[in-house]
Structure 1
Amino acid sequence: MGCGTSKVLPEPPKDVQLDLVKKVEPYTGHKTDVYKHFIKDDGVGTLKTGSPLPPYHIQPYPGTHLASHMEPHEPRRTRVAKYRAKFDPRVTAKYDIKALIGRGSFSRVVRVEHKATKQPYAIKMIETKYREGREVCESELCVLRRVRHTNIIQLIEVFETQERVYMVMELATGGELFDRIIAKGSFTERDATRVLQMVLDGVKYLHTLGITHRDLKPENLLYYHPGTDSKIMITDFGLASARKKGDDCLMKTTCGTPEYIAPEILVRKPYTNSVDMWALGVISYILLSGTMPFEDDNRSRLYRQILKGKYSYSGEPWPSVSNLAKDFIDRLLTVDPGARMTALQALKHPWVVSMAASSSMKNLHRSISQNLLKRASSRCQSTKSAQSTRSSRSTKSNKSRRVRERELRELNLRYQQQYNG
């Protein structure tokens, strides 16, 4: 749902208050790096500086296997063997490498299976020789080593070498929040409160530890498994900030995804973990309508909307949404961070506590799905249009270059004729 741009890396936390993941396999001092050709900046899925790494929790792409990015003339078994050989032997001793499920300019994410338990996991391998990879890796590890919560993606163990880190993570295979809603066929306010209770519980836990996520959005809320009883998990802590208890709780780094950024971040004021609550207000609005409270292709106009904090409840399905649900959103999308609900207060809001018992049980699915799909189609067309414009400019540029070259050749030809004549 978010545009995924304008990411700025957070300042690396200086200390860690609580370290629950004790098992870190350190670098043992290989003389040569046998994996140095494993990750190359091949232009596929390359992220801009400051962008978070691709999530370790995404579902495997259809047809994506270990051999999918290798030389086609080699036998598959040979290609898979070569691919596995690029991993640290300590990793392959415990895990079977199954499939490539994500890639970035300095990372790869693979689905693996624990050899003893047959439990599936994801391994996020980050090239720490690059500054961007190192900073995001340090930030994410600092947070994930501290957390143990049912609604937060879990770090299992870490392997380190001189130039890369292997993060073994839980694997969430249930898909993104809104993909599930579209496929579900039915969605009511009661369903919305179930989702928000799980997310709020995870956010409250993070805030209690002094951790601010800073990039909460639907893409980072995943179902653990495809079943109807699956829990929601908060993922992607590449922009998270961890503070030691008693430290100054104010943050200053401008970061996040544009449509979800709180007003206080835009005006570059020191801010608190209430920025996560603003993002949850945006998510709640989308959850009940399939539309964004603040949206504009022009970044400046988008930011002006956010700073004013003005949005509307016009269009479908808002006439069918209860006033209590709208009150919940209003208390989160408050420009003044001091007046914004905390995670605990949000969990105690009557709409959430009663699980929308007094709200209309009308099925909002049709309107939400139509709005989500309409927005996805619109953004797809905008991307194609932008690509077409760039292509047109490139074609014009090539044409003008060819004209200049032809004119230059003609001038040279005339000069040679005059000189020889």
Structure 2
Amino acid sequence: MGCGYSKVVPEGSKNGYVSVLQSLVAFTRASEDKDEPKEKLGKSFWFGRRTEKEQQQQRRPTQSQPQTRDTGQRAKVKTYRDKFDPRVTARYHIKALIGRGRFSRVVRVEHRGTRQPFAIKMMEVEFPEGREVCAAELTALKRVSHPNVVRLVEVFQLPHRVYMVLELATGGELLDRVVSRGHFTERDATKAVKMVLAAVSYLHSLGVTHRGLKPENLLYYHPGADSRLLLTDFGSATFADKALDNVESSDCASVDTSWSGRTSCGTLEYMAPEVMRRKPCSSAVDMWALGVITFIVLSGSVPFEDDSRPRLCRAVTKGKYSFSGDPWPCVSNLAKDFISRLLRVDPCARLTADQALLHPWVASEAPTSSCKNLHRPISQNLRQRASRGGSRCPSSNSSDPGSAKDKRERRRPRAK
């Protein structure tokens, strides 16, 4: 795909992670772009990110300096575009920076030939940790093809960077959609949960554990009501043989996972108890995170949160949470049963993704729900979390892969 510059995505092999990592190491040399402009991104009001309206207001020139600021913005875009490898810009027109991580930048681009929009995730692979994150994401995305998983289009692999061309999701994050709709019921929640479960079930069938499930990584493909929900960000993914995730519950105690399955990773509020305890873990960690996500989508609050990291960890490892406060009295018992079957401390007692798809709350789309509009209490709970102010407790130890990224990303509103 493209004059020998890019690499057409091959099918994943059994040793995909090793081969990708070796390839990245071989292509890496000591190089660093120190002049890359650092544009501060906006944040929405519930998890520390600004809303799209606030971002637009921030970008809008002030009356006192309209021309100066507009000129400065154009200069920034040009400077940032010049940092891209010419092999990439020969095929894609760089439009705007839309995301930033510890080892990556995500930009919106347009294919010069077809005018089709895409996203390019630019991964820095100079250092071992960056190579590892990039290798995990590439291995996962090369292996998968599912309507609810972001699609990898092509890869440009260069000595110091890897450019991943991905399909562009323009419909916003899961919680953006919940708040912006103005009307949200349990049945709306089941539609979102069902799409996430479809993606997770597919990944687990391939031996892929995401390990980073959270609302920020669930994006709608387009703004329409019929949009599919996409699972993104596989930088923390781990891989196992197919048989590992199909093991019977009675044999769960004998499962022996790789080093990556034993390492703390992810955002603390969504982290499973066995991960916090540094115990061998499996794909069940994704099911715990999905239970937390469902809790948030239905209430606007999280089941486990505290200013103190030790207290938060104790609450998670004991599985202490409650269905108290609005809107829980208006939520069906089936929904609460679904959540409780996922938020179980024993990973072998949790529903698998396939079992969760068959749960009556999901399979029949909340048949016993009252169809009551939950939008107002959900939005109020989200705003209350933001209004408390301050930063939350730190994430996992700095020795854990991804922990520094978590500490940077987790500067969010405090919740008591």
Is 2:347 the counterpart of 1:337? yes
* CA deviations over 1:58-82 (Å, ceiling 9, x no partner): 99954769xxxxx989888776555
Counterpart for residue 404 of structure 2: none
Is 2:391 the counterpart of 1:383? yes
Query: Aligned-pair distance for 1:268?
Result: 1.4
Counterpart for residue 119 of structure 2: 122
* CA 151–64 in structure 1, closer or farther in 2 if over 3 Å, else same: farther
Contact 1:106 1:126 in 2 (8 A): yes
Counterpart for residue 293 of structure 2: 283
What are the within-5 Å matches in structure 2 for residues 364-379 of structure 1? Answer: 364-378=374-388
Match of 2:100 among 100, 103, 111: 103
SS of the residue aligned with 2:153?
strand
User: Kindly, what percent of the aligned residue pairs are identical?
Assistant: 57
Q: Distance in 2 between matches of 1:80 and 1:376?
A: 31
Query: Aligned-pair distance for 1:86?
Result: 2.7
SS of the residue aligned with 2:122?
strand
Q: Distance in 1 between matches of 2:80 and 2:168?
A: 21
Question: Which of these two proteins has the greater Rg computed from alpha carbons?
Answer: 1
Query: Aligned-pair distance for 1:304?
Result: 0.7
Counterpart for residue 399 of structure 2: none
Q: Distance in 2 between matches of 1:75 and 1:292?
A: 40
- For normalisation by structure 2, the TM-score amounts to 0.75
What are the within-5 Å matches in structure 2 for residues 170-181 of structure 1? Answer: 170-181=167-178
Match of 2:203 among 198, 201, 206: 206
Counterpart for residue 51 of structure 1: none
Is 2:293 the counterpart of 1:293? no
Match of 1:311 among 314, 321, 343: 321
Q: Distance in 2 between matches of 1:323 and 1:75?
A: 55
Query: Aligned-pair distance for 1:245?
Result: 3.4
Counterpart for residue 357 of structure 1: 367
Of residues 82-91 and 160-169 in structure 1, the stretch that sits farther from structure 2 once superposed is 82-91
Q: Unmatched 5+ residue regions in structure 1?
A: 1-14, 20-25, 46-57, 66-70, 387-421
Q: Distance in 1 between matches of 2:70 and 2:303?
A: 51
SS of the residue aligned with 1:268?
coil
Contact 1:317 1:368 in 2 (8 A): yes
SS of the residue aligned with 1:383?
coil
Q: What is the number of residues matched between the two proteins? A: 345
Counterpart for residue 243 of structure 1: 240
SS of the residue aligned with 2:159?
coil
Q: CA RMSD in A?
A: 3.3
SS of the residue aligned with 2:90?
helix
SS of the residue aligned with 1:145?
helix
Query: AA paired with 1:156?
Result: V
Q: Distance in 2 between matches of 1:280 and 1:75?
A: 42
Q: Distance in 1 between matches of 2:289 and 2:282?
A: 13
Match of 1:231 among 213, 220, 228: 228
Query: AA paired with 2:302?
Result: M
* CA 64–237 in structure 1, closer or farther in 2 if over 3 Å, else same: farther
Q: Distance in 2 between matches of 1:80 and 1:267?
A: 45
Counterpart for residue 281 of structure 2: 271
* CA 292–34 in structure 1, closer or farther in 2 if over 3 Å, else same: closer
Query: AA paired with 1:368?
Result: I
SS of the residue aligned with 2:262?
coil
SS of the residue aligned with 2:227?
coil
Match of 1:261 among 255, 262, 271: 271
SS of the residue aligned with 1:382?
coil
- For normalisation by structure 1, the TM-score amounts to 0.74
* CA 76–292 in structure 1, closer or farther in 2 if over 3 Å, else same: closer
